[in-house]
Structures are given as C-alpha cells and as structure tokens.
Amino acid sequence: MRFNSLREVQSELSSKSITLPEVVKYYLGNIESRKNLNAFLEVWSDEALARAEEIQAKLNQGTAGKLAGMVLGIKDNICYKGHQVTASSHILENFESLFSATVIERLLAEDVIIIGRLNCDEFAMGSSNENSFYGPVLNPLDETRVPGGSSGGSAAAVAADLCLAALGSDTGGSIRQPASLTGIVGYKPTYGAVSRHGLIAYASSFDQIGPMTKSVEDAELLFAIMQGKDAFDSTALQEDLSREVSHSKRVAYLKETLESDAVHPDVRSAMEQAIEKLKSEGYTVEPISFPYLDYMVPAYYVLTTAEASSNLARFDGINYGYRSKDAKGIDDTYRRSRTEGFGKEVKRRILLGTFVLSSGYFDAYYGTAQRVRRVLRNKTEEIFSSYDFLLSPTCTDGAFKIGEKAKDPISMYMQDIFTVHANLTGNPSISIPLGTIAETHMPFGIQITGKLKSDFSVLAFARETAVLFGK
C-alpha cells in the first residue's frame, strides 16, 4: 500500500479499493514497526482514526477538502492546540499548546490528518538530529547514519513511509539538508510567504515552515494551501504570490560549489551530468562566480545566534515549562532552570549570541554580519536579474555516521554551507533527489533556488527537472 503522492491515495479512495481509516492504520503499523528510528515523539492514533472516519464520510458525500487522504506528521516546534509541543527540549517538557499555528489551521480546513509530532534538534538547532532531548533520530536508509537536521524526524518519517508528508522548519537548511540525506523532497518558501505564527522561534528573520514530501507535486499542493498573508504574523507577505509560472530556460550554477574540495566526487559528477541533461533539453545553463561563499556560514551563525539569544530568553522556568527543583530565589531559578533545561548546543548558541550582542562587540560582529547579509542580497538580486534559477548541490556529501561530527561544532556547522544562502537572502529554495554515493549507497539532492516570491515558478521547474532526472 505504499503511496508516493496524494494523487495516488485519492485515486485508490475514489475507486473504493481502500478506505481512509485503512490508510491511517497502514501508517500506524509502519510507525510501530519502525519505532526504533525515534522519528515520532508522540503518535495521536485514536484521534487520527476518528478523523479518518469523519473525512471518509465527507468523501462518500463528495464534500471533502483538497487534502483528504493526506496523513501528515508535524515537527515538534509547530503548535497544535490541545497537543504537546516541546521543540524537543527538556525546558518545554509536557507543555501543551493553547492555540494552533496558522499553517495547521489552514491544512486542517482542507481535511489533512495529523498523525503525530516529530523529533527534531532541540529548538531546531542542529544539522544531524543528534541534539534532541529525546535522543537522536536514525536514518531509515542506514540506521548507523544521521537523517540530517534539524527536521530529521520529519525527513525520516517520510522516507520510512511512516506518513505521506511532514512539516519542517528551515532556518539555514533544516528542511533541505535532511531531505537530501534521506532522498526526499524538501521545500523552503520565500521568507514571509508562509506564516510563522505558531512556530516556536529560533531566528525570526530566517525561520520558515515548509513541506517535506515524496513528490514535488505534494510539496506544491501543501505550500499553496499554507501560503498567504496572516494578521497574526507581521513578517508575513502582505500580498498574494503570483501563480504565473516563468517558462524561461536561463539557469545558473555556482561554479565554486563544484570546485570545492569538500564536495564528494559522486556529488560533483551527478551535478555535471544534471547540467548537461538540462542543456540537452534546451536550457541555457551557465557557470557564475559567487565570491562570498566563505562568508555565508560565519554571517549566518552570528545573526542566528544573536536572534536565538533574544528569542529563548522567554524560557526561564517562571511561567511555564521546566523549573529546577533545587532553585532558591528568583535569580537561582533563572540560572538553574535554564542550565538544566537547555541542552549543550542550545546553550552554546545562546552564549555566542549574547556575546555578539554585547557592548563593545556589537558592531564588530552583529553589525558586520548584517552588512555582509546586505552584500549577499545585492549579489543574489544581481544574479536573478539575468537568470531565473540557481543550481547547487544541496549538501557536500551523503549522510554521515551518528557521532562522527558531534565533537566538532565547526565541521557540523559547515553542513549548511550551500543551504544558508537562501535563508540569508530570503529566496525560495528546494531540494530534490539527484543520486547516491556509490560507496555508501546514501542519497543526495540538487538544490534549486529562485527569485524572491517566484515560489510557484521554482516548484514548476523542480517538477520538470525531477521528471528529467527520473526522480
């Protein structure tokens, strides 16, 4: 009963060869059989089955929504009223959300079934899903390897067929990098195209909610329903995105990404073949130089840690969440609750962010990083004045072994070298499967980035290229 798209599910439902409760039971069985992956933190079995019965009745009456038949998992930093949300952190253990994120309300209105919440790096800080308070997620294609992060639980769940699709969040590649390492599709929309209302913030000027799916078609459908202005999010775009699709065949690729010694030879070879394939189909594909590649990761980590330092100040053990039992007095409560409640990586980033914002260092670090961000945006706008799409590998390699990079934060941070660009500039970007590493048989993806607000064009081009590459 494995499905690769909502279209396949709905076809089976319309032919009455299956029922929606049977589809949900299929996924529940898969979740149980592969619970060792640690992808789900909580499964809402009874609720999902009851909702399946309700939506099946709508299907029988011909009144069901666009997403009837889709079984979805949500990353554990997206709020769903009456359900726990912890950002995979001890400091929010057992916290129950008082409201639903805008994206959840919009998807539920179209009859999606939410089957549970998915593990992630704590407060979405990580590139391997080894930073969760609830333990690491295993890559379903090789359980000795990471699924990527921070949306590793979402990626693993889709790749292992535990749900048809999942929601993740992307601050510096947290949707696209795990999608690449598990062989699925991961889409980061234009910044502001999807409301952040109800997303537990890591870095507010970077974070975006997006879909993780088995097909570009499903990613496009989910995005189309989630996107749009929202009065609850002041950073959301205030106009509707154009659904007009560009048919331009001008494509660029960053030559530095293929010349880098860090890129695995199999990734480089597959990228070169993909470029030649596009050329043979009539696309103009040209190399361009992007001299700021080495500055992107440092700028990204200065800015995101600064925002994290501010955003995570609210988790103090006073109003909700974990409070140290040994604390004596208000100051000790703050100190002990945060020390005991936050994990090592989160504390590292809070401290770094507090440092770059401190008196005497603010302009040298935070101010400089903001200026670098402006230079990156200007250069990116210049590229897109001549081209419609920009290609690069999503990652330098396939999935690495669990524990391989855990003691080397710099090596871990460099996992984001090709993905942070779209978050620094706000552009839409998608990872689709491209090939596998011969030695390890682990997948990797190609990344397609587009002009600001050209989301539907990026998705259309991704759909075309996925067919072209036989994915």
Mean pLDDT of 318-324: 91
> Is the per-residue pLDDT at 248 higher than 90?
no
Task: Give the C-alpha separation, 41 to 293, whole Å.
Answer: 36
Catalytic residue, chosen from 5, 132, 150, 195, is 150
> Is the per-residue pLDDT at 330 higher than 80?
yes
Catalytic residue, chosen from 97, 100, 169, 174, is 174
Q: How confident is the model at residue 139 (pLDDT cuts 50, 70, 90)?
A: very high
Query: Residue 342: is it exposed, middle or buried by C-beta count within 10 angstroms (0-12/13-18/19+)?
Result: buried
> Is the per-residue pLDDT at 231 higher than 80?
yes
pLDDT in tens, 358-389: 989 999 999 999 999 999 999 999 999 999 99
Q: What's the pLDDT at 79?
A: 98
Q: What's the pLDDT at 239?
A: 87
Q: Are 151 and 176 in contact (CB under 8 A)?
A: no
Global pTM reads 0.97
Within a 10 A sphere around the Cβ of 54, how many other Cβ atoms? 13
Q: What's the pLDDT at 197?
A: 98
Higher pLDDT, 326 or 253: 253
Q: What's the pLDDT at 11?
A: 98
Q: What's the pLDDT at 415?
A: 86
Mean pLDDT of 151-178: 98
Q: How confident is the model at residue 7 (pLDDT cuts 50, 70, 90)?
A: very high
Q: What's the pLDDT at 39?
A: 98
Mean pLDDT of 131-155: 98
Mean pLDDT of 329-358: 95
> Is the per-residue pLDDT at 287 higher than 80?
yes
Q: What's the pLDDT at 331?
A: 92
Q: How confident is the model at residue 240 (pLDDT cuts 50, 70, 90)?
A: confident
Catalytic residue, chosen from 75, 405, 453, 471, is 75
Q: What is the DSSP string of 416-438?
A: GTTTHHHHHH---EEEEEEEE-T
Higher pLDDT, 61 or 262: 61
Mean pLDDT of 447-458: 97
Q: What's the pLDDT at 246?
A: 83
Has 174 been annotated as catalytic?
Answer: yes
Mean pLDDT of 269-297: 95
Q: What's the pLDDT at 411?
A: 79
Q: In the sheet that 250-254 helps form, which strands lie side by side, from edge to edge?
A: 40-43, 113-118, 71-75, 165-170, 208-213, 185-188, 429-436, 443-450, 389-393, 250-254, 284-288
List the helix and strand counts (H, then E) for the chain: 17, 11
Task: Give the C-alpha separation, 320 to 463, whole Å.
Answer: 44
> Is the per-residue pLDDT at 334 higher than 80?
yes
Q: What's the pLDDT at 242?
A: 87
| Cα 344 → chain centroid | 22
Q: Which domains does the chain have, with CATH numbers?
A: 6-226 (3.90.1300.10)
Task: Give the C-alpha separation, 393 to 260, whole Å.
Answer: 11
- For residue 398, the SS3 value is coil
How is residue 367 annotated by DSSP?
Answer: I
Tell me which residue of 261, 296, 5, 295 sits closest to 172, measured CA to CA: 296
> Is the per-residue pLDDT at 414 higher than 90?
no
Mean pLDDT of 279-289: 96
- Euclidean distance between the first and final Cα of the chain, in Å? 20
Mean pLDDT of 170-185: 98
> Is the per-residue pLDDT at 408 higher than 90?
no
Q: How confident is the model at residue 31 (pLDDT cuts 50, 70, 90)?
A: very high
Task: Give the C-alpha separation, 468 to 456, whole Å.
Answer: 18
Q: How confident is the model at residue 471 (pLDDT cuts 50, 70, 90)?
A: confident
Query: Residue 219: is it exposed, middle or buried by C-beta count within 10 angstroms (0-12/13-18/19+)?
Result: buried
Task: Give the C-alpha separation, 182 to 437, whole Å.
Answer: 12
Q: What's the pLDDT at 407?
A: 79
Q: What's the pLDDT at 394?
A: 97
Of all residues in the chain, what percent carry a pLDDT higher than 90? 91
CB burial of 220-244 (b: ≥16 within 10 Å; e: otherwise) equals bbbbebbbbebeebeebbeeebeee
> Is the per-residue pLDDT at 1 higher than 90?
no
> Is the per-residue pLDDT at 459 higher than 90?
yes
